[in-house]
Structure 1
Amino acid sequence: MSNLFQTYGRWEIEPATASGSWMTDVCGKKYLDFTSGIGVCNLGHRPKQVEEAVLTQLNQYWHVSNLFTSSKQEKAAQLLAQVAGMDRVFFANSGAEANEGAIKLARKATGRTKIITFINSFHGRTFATMSATGQDKIKHGYGPMLETFVYVPYNDVEAVKNAMGEDVAAIMLEVVQGEGGIHIGDQEFFNEIEALCQKYGALLVIDEIQTGIGRTGKPFAFQHFGLQPDIVTAAKGLGSGFPIGAVIGKEKLGEYFGPGSHGSTFGGNPISIAAAIATMEAIFQREQLEEVIEKGNYLINQLNDQLGKLPFVHDIRGLGLMIGIECSFNVAPVLAELRKNGLIVLQAGEKVIRLLPPLTVLKSEMDEAVQILTSIMQKNNDAVKA
């Protein structure tokens, strides 16, 4: 019997060691890891520069609280603000906490409570972020949600217009819906949302928990579309596996998050901040980001060549190294077969295989992943024909 609450459908793998794109389990079996810890280990497992930064901080101090001045927090905030084209940063421990902070800030700054989000969105599992999420399956059994969220179809400009008004505090969106199935927004959709926020005095909040920190080939995914958000949230890839989240905002919002307005005992922990600085210094290099776009294009092209003609593969889509393969069936059994054959991938919804390889993935590793995927998917195709 386990003493853990069984909140996860855990896999049959127990890791022993991991490095780069590879993981070895306690039985000695090696796996090519195309999950990156659900979009967290963007530099691969145990990147040397992050490990060195963390060890240095471990030998200095671990925790003192946010009552103390921290030049390293200031440096991390400066790096984030500069690449996002913004001004202020609050450090939390996770993506859900970052989104909680963004919701609080938007409501306080506007004096309004209504927030528009999107069907199939995912913003977290705390009560406010669960309420913000446009997926009923994560809300079952918890009673009434917060009533100030309105959900509209993604990429539907008219639906947003119909929901918009002077009582709206913010529109909150993902540029690429990750958990919802790797759905990418249209440029026209984003342009209209930005214009509506400006017209009605609402804030544009962009959830970059999964898409941020280089995952799509830009520091943040909104930069592919020329958007100017008021608030951006980041987490996952920010700390290379150490828990950290961030609310990034415009200068005009600074007065609403003053002393006593928000806080976190562990937010901006020295160990996580050291990891975040080293991670950002590695990822926010032009050559590194250009490589992500090149690798993403290569991987999508290889997948289209090998899998695109299979009758049950409906679409292969992505941005940078955030890729979805949409099928006509529940892909959970396929994922289990892939694990048996040494490739670890994720689901995004019921019918989408989600690939989140490290940004440092090698071409040979992408080729190997495609070969394993092709083998398993072809077996599935043969079984259907039979």
Structure 2
Amino acid sequence: MNTVAVSPVLPVYARQDLTFVRGEGATLVDADGRAYVDFLAGIAVVGLGHCHPAPLAAAQAQLERLWHVSNLYWSEPMIALAERLSDRFGGARAFFCNSGAEAVEAGLKYARKATGKPGVVSLTGSFHGRTLGALSVTGQSGKREAFEPLLPHVSFAAPNDADSLAPAITAETGCILLEPVQGEGGVHELDAGFVAETRRLADENGAVLLFDEVQTGVGRTGTFFAWERLGVRPDAVTLAKGLANGLPIGCLLVGDEAPEGFAPGDHASTFGGNPVACAAANAVCDELTDDLLAGVTATGLALTAGLRELPRVREVRGAGLLLGAELGRPASEVVAQCAGRGLLVGTAGESVLRLTPPLVVTAAEVDQALGTLEEVLA
């Protein structure tokens, strides 16, 4: 089905000519009835797999009660989700929105209000979204150039290079922003020592340490928050993607020990905290048991080992089920050839294959994906 020539959708995505009509677990089915093994999961979104019965039932039940209520009032699903996330963080307050970029924007505003300082230090290779503020702190020139000049007072340090981090911080720095694993930037995990140094420098300079866990959070790396793996608690963290297993939601969590910031009227989101999305997110949180998270770690190790045995794979990076395979050829070619064989994967740079399967992917599905990749890369 070729829809490219007739679609009235703005061409901001380089979409493949695939139209999907249903999904279950790690399987998607296209309009022609062909099944695909989904090792992209909406780019780390459907962590529990497509149409998982728990968030599905929660969303359906909530739809029958209440779809929307203004944020002038409270809703039970929003309160419950804030409590769950606060417990996971170890004490925090939540602002709910609809996407990762929106959560990052909220984090930037919070840091400026809390510290009174406009400066942000981010990392080269980072990706924080495509809205104007989030793009301004994204460390990829190719994504920034067409929209410059962007926001001022932003500087970039090299990841895992403490020597470049300290000089980037000035008296006007109010926020240090990082992804525990750079997803879009090639799947590079930050070292625990480097992250600990960012914590020290943030404290020393009165800056908010903000972790962008839009992609790494909600179990993707084998712990609910990726910062748990690193042993460094941020002042604030953003979540989105996997939080409601595919329904639009974003969140900024501000730790109870972080400086005061927002007051009524400082920020808002009309659809933020939507009861249906929050109901689904509550179900997701309930499903992310210790056993499931341990399975993410184990499956990630098995997938990593299998990828390292494949031809033309030079390096495998990442954590849990957020993995990148450095190839000796353009990754987009491999993506297209895999799709032709019924496997969906993505890219994270010119030569990096990105794999973010559902957290519940089975060993048989891992073996099937590795077999397809072996055929394509041979």
Which TM-score band applies after superposition, normalised by the shorter structure?
Answer: over 0.9
Instruction: Encode CA deviations 1:153-179: one digit per residue, 9 max, x unaligned.
Output: 111100001112332101100000000
Q: Does 1:80 align with 2:85?
A: yes
The structural deviation recorded for 1:68 is: 1.3
Deviates more, 1:216-225 or 1:79-88: 79-88
Task: Tell me if structure 1 keeps the 8 A contact 2:326–2:353.
Answer: yes
Instruction: Encode CA deviations 1:282-316: one digit per residue, 9 max, x unaligned.
Output: 01x111111110111111111223x1xx3x42201
The structural deviation recorded for 1:254 is: 7.2
Instruction: Encode CA deviations 1:331-360: one digit per residue, 9 max, x unaligned.
Output: 111110000000000100111000001000
The structural deviation recorded for 1:85 is: 2.0
Q: Structure 2, unaligned stretches of length 5 or more?
A: 1-5
SS in structure 2 at match of 1:323: strand
Match of 2:301 among 272, 287, 297: 297
Match of 2:175 among 170, 173, 178: 170
Instruction: Encode CA deviations 1:247-266: one digit per residue, 9 max, x unaligned.
Output: 00122557421211111100
TM-score (norm. length: structure 2): 0.97
Cα–Cα, structure 1 residues 165 and 152, in superposed 2: closer, same or farther, change >3 Å? same
Match of 2:198 among 174, 193, 199: 193
What is the Cα-based RMSD across aligned positions, in Å? Answer: 1.1
Task: Tell me if structure 1 keeps the 8 A contact 2:218–2:242.
Answer: yes
Kindly report which structure 2 residues correspond to 1:353-372, keeping only aligned pairs within 5 A, or say none.
353-372=353-372
Q: Which amino acid aligns with 1:86?
A: G
Cα–Cα, structure 1 residues 100 and 202, in superposed 2: closer, same or farther, change >3 Å? same
Task: Tell me if structure 1 keeps the 8 A contact 2:313–2:326.
Answer: yes
The structural deviation recorded for 1:196 is: 0.7
Q: Which amino acid aligns with 1:300?
A: T
Which residue in 1 is equivalent to 2:153? 148
Measured in 2, the distance between the counterparts of 1:179 and 1:349 equals 7
The structural deviation recorded for 1:136 is: 1.2
Cα–Cα, structure 1 residues 69 and 254, in superposed 2: closer, same or farther, change >3 Å? farther
Measured in 2, the distance between the counterparts of 1:165 and 1:68 equals 40
Instruction: Encode CA deviations 1:222-274: one digit per residue, 9 max, x unaligned.
Output: 11011110010000000111000000012255742121111110001111111
Task: Tell me if structure 1 keeps the 8 A contact 2:114–2:259.
Answer: no
Measured in 2, the distance between the counterparts of 1:217 and 1:107 equals 32
Q: Which amino acid aligns with 1:363?
A: A
Which residue in 2 is equivalent to 1:222? 227
Displaced runs of 4 or more, over 6 A: none
Which residue in 2 is equivalent to 1:345? 345
Match of 1:115 among 109, 116, 120: 120
Which residue in 1 is equivalent to 2:3? none
Task: Tell me if structure 2 keeps the 8 A contact 1:84–1:219.
Answer: no
Measured in 2, the distance between the counterparts of 1:71 and 1:32 equals 36
Measured in 1, the distance between the counterparts of 2:206 and 2:35 equals 53
Kindly report which structure 2 residues correspond to 1:192-211, keeping only aligned pairs within 5 A, or say none.
192-211=197-216
Identity %: 40
Which residue in 2 is equivalent to 1:272? 277
Kindly report which structure 2 residues correspond to 1:226-305, keeping only aligned pairs within 5 A, or say none.
226-253=231-258, 255-283=260-288, 285-305=289-309
Measured in 1, the distance between the counterparts of 2:324 and 2:108 equals 28
Which residue in 2 is equivalent to 1:383? none
Which residue in 1 is equivalent to 2:329? 329
The structural deviation recorded for 1:3 is: 1.4
Q: Which amino acid aligns with 1:165?
A: T
Which residue in 2 is equivalent to 1:384? none
Measured in 2, the distance between the counterparts of 1:189 and 1:270 equals 39
Measured in 2, the distance between the counterparts of 1:206 and 1:249 equals 11
The structural deviation recorded for 1:13 is: 1.0
Question: How many residue pairs end up in the alignment?
Answer: 373
Measured in 2, the distance between the counterparts of 1:21 and 1:235 equals 20
Task: Tell me if structure 1 keeps the 8 A contact 2:307–2:313.
Answer: no
Measured in 1, the distance between the counterparts of 2:68 and 2:92 equals 26
Match of 2:66 among 61, 69, 80: 61
The structural deviation recorded for 1:79 is: 0.8
Measured in 2, the distance between the counterparts of 1:329 and 1:128 equals 33
Task: Tell me if structure 2 keeps the 8 A contact 1:50–1:275.
Answer: yes
Task: Tell me if structure 1 keeps the 8 A contact 2:69–2:75.
Answer: no
The structural deviation recorded for 1:42 is: 0.1
Which residue in 1 is equivalent to 2:144? 139
Q: Which amino acid aligns with 2:212?
A: D
Task: Tell me if structure 2 keeps the 8 A contact 1:166–1:201.
Answer: no
SS in structure 1 at match of 2:269: coil
SS in structure 2 at match of 1:333: helix
The structural deviation recorded for 1:140 is: 3.0
Task: Tell me if structure 1 keeps the 8 A contact 2:122–2:178.
Answer: yes
Measured in 2, the distance between the counterparts of 1:303 and 1:86 equals 38
The structural deviation recorded for 1:12 is: 1.5
Match of 1:15 among 14, 20, 37: 20
Task: Tell me if structure 2 keeps the 8 A contact 1:86–1:248.
Answer: no
